[in-house]
Each structure stands twice: as C-alpha cells, then as structure tokens.
Amino acid sequence: MTMLDETRERFLNAILAQVPLERIAEIHLFQPMRQGGVESGVAVIAEGREESGEGRELPSGQMSDVESSDAPLASENSIPTSGPFLPSPFSPLPSRFTIHTARYRLTLKGPDRGKWEMSVVAEADAPLLTVDAVVRGVQRRSGDVEEATRMTQDDLAAVLSKRSDSAA
C-alpha cells in the first residue's frame, strides 16, 4: 500500500472534492518540486464516465465523437450504462476517459507561509493507454528520476480508510 505525506494527502482530498472517488480509474502523482520557498505538485487523473446521452463537455465545449454519436454502441469495450466504472471480472473497461490535470502550490516560507492553491482542469478525452504515454512524457521532460506514483481507485480508498481509522 502507498504511504503518503501530509501534503499529498491534502492534495488527494482536494482532488476528491472535485472528482468523486467512484469515477476515478487512476491517479498519477508526480514528485513535488520545491523552489524558492514554494512546493508545487502535479497529478494526472483518469476519470471514467458513462456512455449515456448526457456526455461530459470538454474545455473546448465540443463533445467527443463517442459521446456525440446517436448510433448505438456495439463495441465490446463500451461502458455499461450503470454500475462502477472500474471492471469487475464480468465488465469491460471504459474505452475513453476524461483526463484531468491537478496542480497545487504550497507556500513554505515567507509572509504567505501556509498559503494553499489548487486546481483541477479537464484537459482531454482519451483512452487509458494515452494517459500512460503522457505520464512517461512528463517524466522525461521534467527529468524526474523517480516514477510517478500510480494509484487506482482501490489504492485511494485504502489510503483514505487507513487515515480515517487512525484518526478515530
């Protein structure tokens, strides 16, 4: 099980306030960077979604081709219209996910010490394989030696339940 420091737990709680745990397929947490008395961190979140007529709008205001199609989905990878977004032994993975980028900035020194800023932005509509490629690209460009911490919905639930058990 993944152990998290206080700042990462705060970051995860802020993410979960905007993206419900039940919809998260996985989160990739990058190593925080400290520079000039400020710590900043980034996470990439893959959010499962239902393939119903509602659809979720992306930043451009355009709906993806999967969501805008009026034809019934015959693909074996389509999402069931009800139930969890992660696979059971009998349900397929969603074929597309809403990809979010989450960022935080924590001031560690100076007159604004303790100031917390955080945002979650829906960036794309993509298959899960694309998320892995993006994560590898970010690591390569940032020169990160350590791998990003990948957490599934079950990992997140375990961390949250352990924290709430120790708080009681």
- Helix%, strand%, coil% for the chain, nearest 5: 30, 25, 45
Per the structure block, which two tokens stand in for 113? 């010490």
Residues 6+ positions from 76 with CB-CB distance below 8 Å: 92
Residue with tokens 């019934």: 72
Distance between CA atoms of 131 and 28, rounded to whole angstroms? Answer: 9
C-alpha angle 27-147-4 in degrees, rounded to nearest 5? 60
Query: What are the residue boundaries of the structural domains of the chain, listed by start?
Result: 6-167
Distance between CA atoms of 67 and 51, rounded to whole angstroms? Answer: 7
Rounded to two decimals, what is the model's pTM?
0.69
Residues 65-105: pLDDT tens digits?
334 333 333 334 444 444 444 444 545 555 789 999 999 99
- For residue 63, pLDDT over 90 is answered with no
